[in-house]
């Protein structure tokens, strides 16, 4: 006999990026309640120090725990690549899922020539975690990494397929195009929002790898294995650290649902 656990799943990111994970979680787990936190007051995380990103993440996890979540997804590669182990230790009493391992799993399924590109924030690329995890799985894989810091403000602004975004993508991705990669990991949850612009630059031969689906599956497996599924939920609630209309707009664009995010004074946590 399986129970139903009505507690929500907590999902967080520095801003709108994590909504690309929420989208897949809703697909894969339609009956789960979700509480999302976007740190819109302090985005971007990718240019900040590990210490600061860790401090912000602790505050958000404390907030989510207060909302009685049963598990948390770090829908942010910057936090996942820099702080996951420390966060797991600090918050050992709640299951936390990160996004890198699902990203690596997806890329390994897709690559045929073992030449993989990774794009992410400065902090994610600097951590070298994607490269390390890819090599753990395929010893002779060739990994080409590139940070694309302007992608996050472009996504937060809602410039998803504008000419300026394609121009910026052209500049950042020019070198990657010379390495004969057959797959490109979107190692920042904001980047799927710019997918069309990125595809335009990389061309049809390069498969775009979005870790979101595997991340959602991982959560599903975890809930199933631990008898924590909700069979009757499906509500979605959004919190931000600074209120602006853009969050609600991008939220409706990504999820095809209308929400009004609520502001939280996250520095009090």
- Summarize as ranges the residues that interact with ligand DGL (CB under 6 A): 13-14, 17, 43-46, 76-78, 121, 124, 152, 188-190
Give the pairing type, strands 34-38 and 9-13: parallel
Q: Which is nearer to ligand DGL, 7 or 195 (CB)?
A: 195
d(C-alpha 162, C-alpha 61), whole Å: 34
Least separation in angstroms between CB 168 and ligand DGL: 15
Give whichever of 106 and 189 is closer to ligand DGL, judged by the CB atom: 189
Pick the closer one to ligand DGL by CB: 18 or 233: 18
Q: How many other C-beta atoms can be found within 10 angstroms of the C-beta atom of residue 218?
A: 19
Q: Which of 101, 61, 130, 133 is nearest to 222 (CA)?
A: 101
Work out whether the CA dihedral 173, 84, 189, 167 comes out positive or negative: negative
Q: Is there a catalytic annotation at residue 188?
A: yes
Of 152 and 206, CB closest to ligand DGL: 152
CB of 13 to ligand DGL, least distance (A): 5
Find the catalytic residue in 76, 83, 148, 251.
Answer: 76
Residue 40 Cβ vs ligand DGL, minimum distance, rounded to whole Å: 10
Check: CB of residue 4 under 8 Å from CB of residue 229. yes
Instruction: Count other Cβ atoms within 10 Å, centred on residue 208.
Output: 17
End-to-end CA distance of the chain: 38
CB of 53 to ligand DGL, least distance (A): 9
Annotation marks residue 83 as catalytic: no
Nearer to ligand DGL, 95 or 211 (CB): 211
| Residue 3: CB minimum distance to ligand DGL, A | 33
Distance (Å, whole) CA 28 – CA 230: 12
Instruction: Return the sign of the alpha-carbon dihedral for residues 43, 49, 146, 106.
Output: negative
Distances 104 to 4, 64, 113, 130, 221 between C-alpha atoms, Å: 31, 27, 15, 7, 17
Catalytic residue among 83, 148, 188, 251: 188
Residues annotated as catalytic (active site), given as ranges: 76, 188
């Amino acid at each position: 006999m399986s129970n139903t656990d009505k507690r929500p799943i907590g999902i967080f990111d520095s801003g709108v990026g994590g909504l690309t994970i929420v989208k897949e979680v809703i697909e894969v787990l339609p009956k789960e309640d979700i509480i999302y936190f976007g740190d819109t007051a302090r985005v971007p995380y990718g240019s900040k120090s590990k210490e600061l990103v860790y401090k912000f993440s602790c505050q958000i996890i404390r907030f989510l725990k207060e909302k009685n979540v049963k598990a948390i997804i770090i829908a942010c590669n910057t936090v996942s690549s820099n702080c996951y182990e420390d966060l797991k230790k600090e918050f050992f009493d709640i299951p936390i899922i990160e996004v890198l391992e699902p990203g690596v799993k997806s890329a390994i399924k897709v690559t045929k020539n073992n030449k993989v590109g990774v794009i992410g924030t400065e902090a994610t690329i600097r951590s070298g975690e994607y490269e390390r995890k890819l090599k753990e799985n395929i010893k002779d894989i060739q990994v080409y990494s590139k940070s694309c810091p302007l992608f996050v403000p472009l996504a937060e602004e809602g410039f998803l397929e504008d000419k300026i975004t394609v121009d910026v993508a052209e500049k950042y991705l020019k070198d990657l195009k010379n390495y004969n990669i057959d797959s490109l990991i979107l190692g920042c949850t904001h980047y799927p929002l710019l997918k069309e612009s990125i595809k335009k630059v990389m061309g049809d031969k390069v498969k775009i790898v979005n870790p979101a689906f595997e991340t959602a599956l991982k959560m599903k497996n975890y809930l199933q294995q631990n008898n924590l599924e909700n069979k009757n939920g499906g509500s979605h609630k959004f919190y931000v650290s600074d209120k602006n209309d853009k969050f609600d707009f991008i939220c409706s664009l990504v999820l095809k649902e209308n929400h009004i995010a609520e502001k939280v004074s996250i520095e009090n946590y």
